[in-house]
């Protein structure tokens, strides 16, 4: 395995400076944001798609530092009921796939997307329970009339360009857990897999270790981000929490740097289980810890995970 970082963390630095930051922390891989929600702080896929000199410069900057590109990321909602939003995110996805081919990168990360409740919707509508029965009518329409046809088409498009899609399971979108991830893969194409981010699973009450075992070779990429559950707030209000992320003391859960939500026993077992199911790609650090600066959170995660991954390379295995 390689330890990497989602380079948008260092959006205030130049591309070269951000690469140097990753290299100095002992990392081997970088994940590049290319549009949609992550933005284009370093790489704008659409803008450089036909600029061979710019593409060569990216390759040279990465390779000269002994790094590799683990994936290109354009997390977006191409199923958004607002056609302008859907088109923008779809166009970013298309450009990212084409750029990935030119860079020799085989993985593009995004979200499954979430439509509205009907063709007349203005905003996405995420169904979370089966009653009243209207919700199941909405869900059937979202999957059968919107998501599956769209992703079948994108699966075929990506196959032509030698690229696979890693869908990040994320609440608020159609793919948010194990069964929805496997459903999209089954119905749209086996070049559609998962960007596995345990932070989104923790607060839903899922066990990331068991999810890794169930997903197996459909895991195409991995994010390293933790979640801390507040026992009292969860006991009072459950895990569905719409309070701002900045209202940490009152929320049921918050995102944390690796090791600050779950201890090293979990993360050792997590890395080992990924190895057991055959995953040998990048583990990419993502920072959304509102209690730490980007620099502090990144350094702590890098130091923590470097020891685990180096241990794995040395042939050590940990078991919970």
Domain limits for position 176: 2-313
For residue 301, tell me if it sits in a domain.
Answer: yes
pLDDT for 319 equals 34
For residue 319, tell me if it sits in a domain.
Answer: no
Residue 156: how many CA atoms within 13 Å on its side-chain side?
Answer: 6
Q: Mean of the pLDDT values across residues 297-303? A: 97
pLDDT for 88 equals 97
Question: Phi first, then psi: what are they for 145, rounded to 5°?
Answer: -100, -20
- The per-residue pLDDT for range 130-141, each reduced to its tens digit, is 999 999 999 999
Residue 124, pLDDT > 70, answer yes
Nearest 10 degrees: CA dihedral of 282, 59, 99, 18?
60
Residue 8, pLDDT > 80, answer yes
pLDDT for 318 equals 33
In DSSP terms, 172 is beta-bridged to: none
pLDDT for 40 equals 75
Q: Mean of the pLDDT values across residues 118-133? A: 97
- The per-residue pLDDT for range 217-237, each reduced to its tens digit, is 999 999 999 999 999 999 999
Q: Whole-prediction pTM value?
A: 0.95
In DSSP terms, 226 is beta-bridged to: 256
Residue 83, pLDDT > 80, answer yes
d(CA 13, CA 226): 25
Q: Mean of the pLDDT values across residues 80-93? A: 98
Residue 314 pLDDT level (bands cut at 50, 70, 90): very low
Going by DSSP bridges, is the β-strand pair 107-110/68-73 parallel, antiparallel, or unpaired?
parallel
pLDDT for 248 equals 98
For residue 230, tell me if it sits in a domain.
Answer: yes
Q: Mean of the pLDDT values across residues 56-79? A: 98
For residue 34, tell me if it sits in a domain.
Answer: yes
- The per-residue pLDDT for range 16-39, each reduced to its tens digit, is 999 999 999 999 999 999 999 987
Q: How many CB atoms lie within 10 A of CB 65?
A: 17
Q: Mean of the pLDDT values across residues 165-175? A: 98
Residue 294 pLDDT level (bands cut at 50, 70, 90): very high
For residue 235, tell me if it sits in a domain.
Answer: yes
Q: Mean of the pLDDT values across residues 97-121? A: 98
Nearest 10 degrees: CA dihedral of 98, 100, 106, 108?
-90
pLDDT for 151 equals 99
pLDDT for 315 equals 42
Nearest 10 degrees: CA dihedral of 124, 125, 127, 131?
-170
For residue 306, tell me if it sits in a domain.
Answer: yes
Number of domains composing the chain: 1
For residue 320, tell me if it sits in a domain.
Answer: no
CATH number of the domain residue 197 falls in: 3.20.20.150
Residue 4 near residue 286, CB atoms below 8 Å:
no
For residue 318, tell me if it sits in a domain.
Answer: no
- The per-residue pLDDT for range 36-55, each reduced to its tens digit, is 998 777 999 999 999 999 99
Residue 31 near residue 20, CB atoms below 8 Å:
no
């Amino acid at each position: 395995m390689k330890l990497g970082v989602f380079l948008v963390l260092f959006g205030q630095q130049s591309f070269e400076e951000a690469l140097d930051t990753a290299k100095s922390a002992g990392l081997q891989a970088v994940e590049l944001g290319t549009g949609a929600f992550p933005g284009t702080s370093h790489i704008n896929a659409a803008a450089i798609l036909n600029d061979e000199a710019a593409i060569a410069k990216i390759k040279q900057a990465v390779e000269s530092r002994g790094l590799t590109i683990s994936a290109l990321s354009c997390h977006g909602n191409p199923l958004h009921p607002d056609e302008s939003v859907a088109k923008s995110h779809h166009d970013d996805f298309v450009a990212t796939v084409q750029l990935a081919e030119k860079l020799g990168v085989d993985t593009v990360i995004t979200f499954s997307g979430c439509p509205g409740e009907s063709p007349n919707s203005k905003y996405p509508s995420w169904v979370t329970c089966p009653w009243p029965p209207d919700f199941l009518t909405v869900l059937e329409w979202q999957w059968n009339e919107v998501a599956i046809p769209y992703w079948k088409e994108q699966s075929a498009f990506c196959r032509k360009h030698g690229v696979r899609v890693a869908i990040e399971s994320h609440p608020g979108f159609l793919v948010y857990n194990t069964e929805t991830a496997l459903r999209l893969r089954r119905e749209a194409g086996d070049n559609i897999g998962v960007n596995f981010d345990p932070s989104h699973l923790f607060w839903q009450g899922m066990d990331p270790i068991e999810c890794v075992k169930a997903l197996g070779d459909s895991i195409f990429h991995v994010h390293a981000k933790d979640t801390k559950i507040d026992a009292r707030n969860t006991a009072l209000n459950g895990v569905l929490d719409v309070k701002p992320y900045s209202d940490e003391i009152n929320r049921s859960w918050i995102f944390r740097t690796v090791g600050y939500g779950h201890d090293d026993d979990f993360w050792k077992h997590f890395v080992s289980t990924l190895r057991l199911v055959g995953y040998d790609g990048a583990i990419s650090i993502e920072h959304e810890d509102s209690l730490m600066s980007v620099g502090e959170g990144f350094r702590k995660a890098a130091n923590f995970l470097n020891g685990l991954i180096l241990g794995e390379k040395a042939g050590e295995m940990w078991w919970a």
